[in-house]
Amino acid sequence: MAYRLLDGIRIIDLTMVFAGPVATRILADLGAEVIKIESIPRPDTFTRGNVFPDNVPGDDPWNRGSNFHALNAGKKGISLNLGDERGRGIFKRLVAISDAVVENYSPRVMDNWGLGYEELSKVKSDVIMVSMSGLGHYGPLRDFYMYVPGMEGMSGLTYATGRPDAPPLLTGHAYGDWVTGANAAAALLTALFYRQRTGRGQYVDVSGREAVACHLGDVIMEYTLNGRDPPRTGNRDAAAPHGCYRCQGDDRWVNIAVENDAQWAALCRVAGHPEWTADARFATAELRRHYADELDRMIEDWTSGLQHLEAMRILQAAGVPAGAVLDMRGVNLDPHLHERGFFHAVDHGPGVGVRPVPSQLPAKFSGVPSFVPKRAPRFAEDDGYVFGSLLGMSPEEMETLARDKVIGGPPSFPRARPTRTDLIEQQGSGWFDADYRVALQKRYDSYGRRDDGESR
């Protein structure tokens, strides 16, 4: 019998929004049993209430938010109010039969509840606790409120991002959260290995700012070694041509990155302009960088007559690094991603239906079966399993706790509105691509990867 990599590992997930759920979703994809905890007064509102299927919130919007489905696929879900003393007692009982706790509250929250690492290690001596925050759990700024813009800004990433003649730019897609989540998952795996060797638990303090900063090695080292802040360069690089070039169609582009003279000559040949290689302005890599503006205009004159996928194929066939710039429709329908099992068609249940779920684990392991995630949990869906089967509570005890809103649901949730009111009219007028779902279904049928979402 083949086992997944983290079979037998149980993780309590107290995280919300992006960074923490990314970390625990990676661990769930590796086979761990992840139990996500929310509460009636404190559900994961941001992801549960963000981007509804077909822009319709429905009568239970907390079970329909697509960000929640993507970030929490494969996890169990319970409701437990840690603001209640009984809830904290139940939490400790759950810690006693688990391997790790992951949380991304502000640094003071767990200690204020009496659920910090020192207290939890009294419950289970080898427990692993991963705390995620913007600036870390110690240091003079530990209590600063911090979200992605602050983390990216204080890491140096924002200062280094943008065009030479423009102000600093945020990444715009919570880059810091995804990087922090991946680092936290890796740190927890390292702590599990340490416990296997020593029998001892670990407290792991993950700083989002530092997770972003450690991905800026060349920028930081330029100042460390030479006392210089590298200028913002937009899409430029040390080599040229290097950038994003317009293609045929509305908002269609191809990225090209030429690294050496051989690739430059190959690009000139397939573009039908071998004479470019004889142009004195482009004779060396340094000269090509100097005349990059002129070079970019010449290349875009060629790419603008091609479809973006066609341009990529022509360049790749000639040995020139290039990639089509795909919109989200293109990513969802990409045959290479589907053949590799990056997307899974999962039935998320009433009101959502069959929708693609992307992997959070872009890696394949030999001898280990591919993990198809189950749908994300509906609010408090697994209370019976966790409180009844795992902790042995009686139905009467659970009923009392539910009546007192220590467990159970539904959550306190703001009145839901369509995520994008401007989409309603556009969708009604045929803006929504009706062919997309047909094409998507054909893609899933082609590779046979679909999950009915029922066996959780």
Q: Which among 30, 46, 36 is positioned nearest to 12, based on CA atoms?
A: 36
Please enumerate in sequence order all residues whose Cβ is within 8 A of that of 249, keeping only pairs 6 or more positions apart, or say none: 307, 308
Reading the block at residue 8, the tokens are 């037998």
Q: What is the Cα–Cα distance from 145 to 134, expressed in whole angstroms?
A: 8
CA distances from 181 to 77, 133, 185, 280, 411 (A): 19, 11, 6, 48, 26
**How many helices, marked H, and strands, marked E, lie in the chain?**
21, 12
Per DSSP, the three-state class of 345 is: strand
Q: Which of 13, 29, 99, 177 is labelled catalytic? A: 177
Q: What is the Cα–Cα distance from 267 to 319, expressed in whole angstroms?
A: 9
Q: Is 177 a catalytic residue?
A: yes
Q: What is the Cα–Cα distance from 416 to 408, expressed in whole angstroms?
A: 21
* Exposure on the CB side of residue 15, measured as CA atoms within 13 A: 32
The DSSP result for 234-299, as a single string, is TT--SSSSEEEEE-SSTT-EEEEE--SHHHHHHHHHHTT-GGGGG-GGGSSHHHHHHTHHHHHHHH
DSSP 8-state class, residue 61: G
Residue 215 φ then ψ, to 5°: -100, 10
Rg of the chain on CA atoms, in Å: 25
Among all residues, which ones are annotated catalytic?
177
